[in-house]
């Protein structure tokens, strides 16, 4: 039996597929283009090139192998320019393709579906409490990305009840790490990624503010998703924050990068060249439910994340 992953060439999708193949799973990856940084060597990974918004496209993917688990990761991570340019396209992927994937999964009789939502759904309530708990802080999405992620989440949970599915939604925090790269579906690259791009280009970094957040390293994100995939039936809840509780600032990240790279210059001030995509820093997500229910154990604080990030990217860049 195989695990089907939509959005398999995206940031989280590619990292997840690599981890699943690495532990011996058969994986069916669904996306418009092959993964970046993950070749899927061997027969354990099969890639299906398709547009999930096209009629019948996901149905074809379900016919490639017997599927027992599904991760819905396809998404348009849109900025304001895309909101104005292609609002219907954002809705089609973030809501329409979610509904169609779940319909096909129900018809195929899959054992479990993990729908990847986003911390962006907290929106205007993202600073309404010291910690954001799943049941205590009502979503108040503002951007079209956040609105459609919340609509996709609610659609998934509605279809869960309608079809009697074992489906769980996970709200991912702000991810960074290897496999992150600019694509035609990802407009908002993480501030830690932006800092490293400036480092490689030999450019000084200017931050608009320190930028405190519970930044989620990709390996912890993947561990959280696989915890949802692997948990015994039935899951005690239908909704989880996917977070670690590790908080640090992008200013601290710059300082750590500078310690490893003498000559790297950074500052906080006007004419910032690192985009935080907003004027405020969201409060941290509570990971208590994920830790208590599923035994999730976050591993990557800032220093360990930076060391692993640099080592992994160097290894990925080596020929062969």
pLDDT at 32: 93
Q: For the residues 87-102, what does the mean pLDDT come to?
A: 98
In degrees rounded to 5, what are phi and psi of residue 28?
A: -105, 115
* Closest by CA position to 175, among listed 120, 125, 238, 114: 120
Cα separation of 258 and 54, whole Å? 46
pLDDT at 199: 96
Comparing 69-73, 176-180, 214-218, the range with the smallest average pLDDT is 176-180
In degrees rounded to 5, what are phi and psi of residue 188?
A: -110, 90
pLDDT at 316: 74
pTM of the complete model: 0.95
Q: Compute the half-sphere exposure of residue 261: CA atoms within 13 Å on the CB side of its CA.
A: 21
| Domain boundaries defined on the chain | 2-178+215-245+283-299
Q: Considering only the top CATH level, what class is 2-178+215-245+283-299?
A: alpha beta
- Summarised one tens digit per residue, pLDDT across range 178-210 is 989 888 889 999 999 999 999 999 999 999 999
């Amino acid at each position: 039996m195989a695990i089907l992953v939509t959005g398999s060439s995206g940031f989280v999708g590619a990292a997840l597929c690599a981890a699943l193949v690495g532990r011996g799973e058969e994986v069916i990856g669904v996306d418009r283009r092959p993964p970046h940084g993950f070749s899927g060597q061997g027969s354990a990974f099969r890639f299906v090139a398709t547009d999930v918004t096209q009629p019948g496209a996901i149905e074809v993917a379900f016919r490639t192998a017997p599927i027992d688990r599904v991760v819905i990761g396809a998404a348009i991570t849109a900025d304001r320019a895309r909101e104005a340019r292609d609002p219907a396209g954002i809705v089609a992927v973030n809501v329409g393709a979610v509904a169609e994937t779940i319909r096909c999964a129900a018809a195929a009789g899959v054992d479990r579906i993990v729908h990847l939502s986003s911390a962006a759904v907290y929106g205007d309530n993202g600073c309404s409490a010291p910690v954001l708990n799943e049941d205590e802080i009502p979503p108040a999405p503002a951007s079209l990305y956040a609105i459609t992620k919340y609509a996709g989440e609610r659609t998934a949970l509605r279809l869960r009840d309608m079809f009697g599915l074992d489906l769980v939604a996970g709200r991912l925090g702000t991810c960074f790490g290897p496999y992150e790269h600019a694509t035609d579906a990802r407009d908002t690259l993480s501030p830690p990624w932006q800092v490293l791009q400036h480092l490689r280009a030999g450019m000084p970094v200017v931050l608009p503010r320190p930028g405190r957040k519970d930044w989620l390293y990709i390996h912890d994100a993947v561990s959280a998703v696989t915890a949802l995939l692997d948990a015994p039936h039935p899951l005690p809840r239908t909704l989880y924050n996917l977070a670690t509780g590790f908080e640090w600032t992008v200013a601290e990240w710059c300082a750590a990068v500078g310690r490893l790279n003498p000559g790297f210059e950074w500052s906080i001030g006007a004419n910032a060249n690192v985009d935080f995509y907003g004027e405020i820093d969201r409060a941290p997500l509570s990971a208590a439910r994920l830790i208590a229910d599923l035994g999730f154990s976050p591993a990557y604080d800032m220093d360990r994340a930076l060391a692993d990030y640099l080592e992994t990217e160097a290894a990925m860049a080596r020929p062969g």
